[in-house]
Amino acid sequence: MTSNASPGTRILGSLRSADGAGVVRVEDRYDTDIDDLWSAITDPGRLARWHGRVEGDLRLGGEFRLYLEADDIDSTGRIDACEPPRRLVVTTRETDESYRKGQGVPPFDAVKEITLTADGDQTILVIEVRGMPLDKIAFFGAGWQIHAENLAVYIAGSEPGDGEARWGELVPTYQELAATIS
């Protein structure tokens, strides 16, 4: 949900639990048409500019690898649904090798459902990520908001800001949101 707060405190996400696992939902409006936004989230060259490097079989049922340089995370994934230019569902899992070198949570299957809705010359993007550990959901919420913001910056033709500083701004608010999950 988008708030009316200043850009520094604007919260795009909501948190909840389902079947004992965390769910992060991030929604924002982008100043581009649906076809351009679809391309930005599915074209490997464009995706690498704001999110991560992806390679592999990028079609329905296909398996791929994703490397998120900002987080130094290597994952494998599968494309579960692809309905251009409106809906994409993928399941990803951090590799054991990546987990062993980092300080994150043990690998888990994360189901990411991305929906796009045209609204005039803009597009509404909703990213819902399911499956993360509930005790870490605040960190995933902050991280997915940063990814959504990086996409907006990329679409605008700019460079992303200081990710670590943004992380520090967002985590406390997402921790407050996480404390309300029962």
Residue 102 maps to a domain: yes
User: What's 74's domain CATH number?
Assistant: 3.30.530.20
Please give the structure tokens belonging to residue 168.
């520090």
Residue 124 maps to a domain: yes
- Report pLDDT for 9: 74
DSSP H or E stretch at residue 2: none
Q: For the segment 33-64, what is each residue's pLDDT rounded down to a tens digit? A: 999 999 999 999 999 999 999 999 999 999 99
Does residue 130 register a pLDDT over 90? yes
Does residue 76 register a pLDDT over 80? yes
Q: How confident is the model at residue 1 (pLDDT cuts 50, 70, 90)?
A: very low
Cα–Cα distance measured from residue 34 to residue 13, given in angstroms and rounded to the nearest whole number: 21
Residue 2 maps to a domain: no
User: Is 123 or 105 the better-scoring residue by pLDDT?
Assistant: 123
Taking Cα atoms as reference points, which of 57, 49, 114, 67 lies closest to residue 87? 114
Asked whether the CA dihedral 68, 122, 90, 132 is positive or negative, the reply is positive
Does residue 178 register a pLDDT over 60? yes
**Burial state string for 104-138 with b = 16 or more CB within 10 A and e = fewer than 16:** eeebeebebbbebeeeeeebbbbbbbbbbeeeebb
Does residue 3 register a pLDDT over 70? no
- Report pLDDT for 8: 60
Inter-CA distances, 42 with 6, 68, 75, 153, Å: 30, 15, 16, 17
CB 81 within 8 Å of CB 89: yes
Mean pLDDT of the chain: 93
Residue 4 maps to a domain: no
What total of structural domains would you count in the chain? 1
User: What is the pLDDT averaged over residues 132-148?
Assistant: 96
Q: How confident is the model at residue 104 (pLDDT cuts 50, 70, 90)?
A: confident
User: What is the pLDDT averaged over residues 73-92?
Assistant: 97
Cα–Cα distance measured from residue 146 to residue 130, given in angstroms and rounded to the nearest whole number: 17
- Look up the domain containing 165 and give its range: 13-178
Residue 6 maps to a domain: no
Residue 8 maps to a domain: no
Does residue 177 register a pLDDT over 50? yes
